[in-house]
Amino acid sequence: MVKKNTDPTPTPPPPQQQQQQHQIPPYIPQQHQYTDYELGMAATLYDQHYRMYWGLPHFSPPLMAAVQDYRAQISIPSYYQQYPQRPDLTRHFQRQATR
């Protein structure tokens, strides 16, 4: 005789799958699930459109809602945070010269 699981709590997904999938807000239908990579790329494209004054990118409403939620949770570094600045480069090359 097979014993049925009577525990009402669902089992969580494996850890790797938990890290790979972004938590879906309740107002987005379940068929629209995006990986963190996809959301990161869409959020970066959204920021690029905003910074270049190109207007909003033409995303589907579910993707736009997911990108807005993603941007609220994870900040994308500014241009100046992404690339080394003059003081950083000066320190780096001064260290190289003293070796």
| 7 domain-assigned | no
| 20 domain-assigned | no
In 1-99, alpha helices (H): 15-20, 36-51, 61-73, 79-82, 86-98
| 72 domain-assigned | yes
| 60 domain-assigned | yes
Q: What is the pLDDT along the chain (99 residues), one digit of tens a residue?
A: 555 556 556 565 555 554 556 666 666 555 568 898 999 899 989 989 988 899 989 999 889 999 999 988 887 777 777 777 888 888 888 876 666
- Each as own residue / partner, the long-range contacts of residues 24-29 (CB below 8 Å, 24 or more positions apart, any chain) are 24/66, 25/65, 25/66, 25/69, 27/65, 28/62, 28/65, 28/66, 28/69, 29/62
* Residue 46 structural domain: 32-76
| 14 domain-assigned | no
Number of structural domains, the chain?
1
